[in-house]
Amino acid sequence: MGSVPMSWRLAKHRYSMVGTSCKCGQVHFPPRLVCECGNDDLQPFAFSGRGEIVSYTTIHVGPSGFERNTPYNVALVKLDEGPVISGVVVDKKIEIGQKVKSIFRKLHEDGHGGLINYGFKFELV
């Protein structure tokens, strides 16, 4: 069994909800190297992980590797700090306007006995 790939170990936003902030006031998730204003002096910014569902869809036929998880909900979540991100909502019945918080969960595994990938999902508050 191999170790966790370097790309996952270096991508802190995969296991902690840390993005970037700029002096202009913009915050980004996932983190960026350059702000929309052109500034490249960005600082780490820890998001609360809380937000509101602004849109969603229910996946009934999942892509390869995710078939056994169906049906599941994928939502656009406007974080309290501003950015809109997508993520799976673990609750079965959801509605636009509901409040959610991020949780750390298993996303999928690479085949039988393969690497297990973890990351963010959301649950209703």
CA distance linking residue 1 with residue 116, whole number of Å = 11
Mean pLDDT of 57-66: 89
> Percentage of the chain with pLDDT > 70?
86
Q: How far is CA 58 from the centre of its chain?
A: 17
pLDDT for the residue 11: 58
What DSSP assignment string belongs to 32-56?
Answer: -SS-TTS----EEEE---EEEEEEE
Residue 8 has pLDDT above 60, yes or no: no
Burial class (CB in 10 A: 0-12, 13-18, 19+), 74: middle
With bands split at pLDDT 50, 70 and 90, how would you rate the model's confidence at 1? very low
Which domains, ranges and CATH numbers included, belong to the chain? 1-47 (no CATH), 49-125 (2.40.50)
pLDDT for the residue 40: 97
CA distance linking residue 106 with residue 49, whole number of Å = 17
Mean pLDDT of 84-109: 93
